[in-house]
Structure 1
Amino acid sequence: MTKAIKLLTALPQAQRERLMELAEEVSFPEDTRIFEAGGTADRFWVIRSGAVHLDTDVTARQRVTVATLGAGDLLGWSWLFPPYAWDFGAVAFSNVRAYQFDGPAVLALCVEDPLLGLSLVRTVAEILAGRLETTRGKLMDQYAIRRRSGLI
């Protein structure tokens, strides 16, 4: 398994300080839907405390959790790429405190400070690669279980 990368601690100090100038402290009570898949992705969060489930619809009335995020984790990356729409939904699994960042303001800062932009995109890419590797491992575990039980 890959090591979880935390956005704020992975950024060089100077870039982290510039980014944090745009941070707003927010909170979400337990069971609050933070965003819906397909909605406009114009912000992101770094979770300070609590847990968030990323989910996806499997039927019109059923959602499945695809990942759980906690303290230090990046919540939301779709603000970086057109069409700026969420790929998953997110719900507070417990009371959540987070730093919220306005996506367009951060993108403008990245244009102003290309070193910050490069550091941010590289770090987000590393986070996503780690999540993909974790998901791949879970799928392989499920495959092995099903194979052992004769389901495949």
Structure 2
Amino acid sequence: MTEATKLLTALPPPQRARLMELAQEVSFPEDARIFDADGTADRFWVIRSGAVSLVQEVTPQRRVTVASLGAGDLLGWSWLFPPYQWDFGAEAFSPVRAHEFEARQVLALCEEDPALGMSLVRVVAEILAHRLELTRGRLMEAYALHRRL
């Protein structure tokens, strides 16, 4: 796997066109909470412009940014897996424009078109694998730094 996979460009053009028929244009102002950890994951976004921070609440007063997402990136994958709840929170780091997809509609399309469904799941899995790899690297760096102190 190379650089971060972009959901829309990774899908074959006919499948991408079918998926895009379900897209709604949305925007979020800077500092907007897009979703909170443990909330219902019933949609996802592909960022068109701007930046989004994925955050983990460590304490009620402290949140840690675990990833930063930008143009072309998938925001949200928990809609694919039970219990359909967000693992992290998401905040707009800058004004954000995005394509929003309702999970129910996308899942119905995947049932109707199994080839599209398989392509979508493969691309999301590749994105997740890449993000896990990045997170692992960050954790290893933090651990190494901690051991030196």
TM-score by length of 1: 0.95
Distance 2:143 2:14 in 1: 44
Deviation string 1:9-37 (CA, Å, 9 cap, x unpaired) is 00111110100000001000000000000
Q: Which runs of 5+ in 1 are unaligned?
A: none
Structure 1 position 11 matched with structure 2 position 11 = yes
Deviation string 1:110-141 (CA, Å, 9 cap, x unpaired) is 00000000000000000000000011111112
Distance 1:139 1:31 in 2: 26
Corresponding residue number in structure 2 for 1:41: 41
Contact 1:2 1:133 in 2 (8 A): no
Distance 1:143 1:111 in 2: 43
- Percent identity over the alignment is 74
Distance 2:2 2:112 in 1: 32
Corresponding residue number in structure 2 for 1:107: 107
Q: CA deviation at 1:2?
A: 4.7
Structure 1 position 29 matched with structure 2 position 34 = no
Give the SS at the match of 2:39.
Answer: coil
Contact 1:11 1:120 in 2 (8 A): yes
Corresponding residue number in structure 1 for 2:55: 55
Amino acid at match of 2:30: E
User: Is 54-63 or 103-112 further displaced after alignment?
Assistant: 54-63
Contact 1:31 1:91 in 2 (8 A): yes
How many pairs were matched up?
149
Q: CA deviation at 1:83?
A: 1.0
Distance 1:101 1:118 in 2: 17
Amino acid at match of 1:135: T
Q: CA RMSD in A?
A: 1.1
Structure 1 position 67 matched with structure 2 position 67 = yes
Contact 1:53 1:66 in 2 (8 A): yes
Contact 1:2 1:134 in 2 (8 A): no
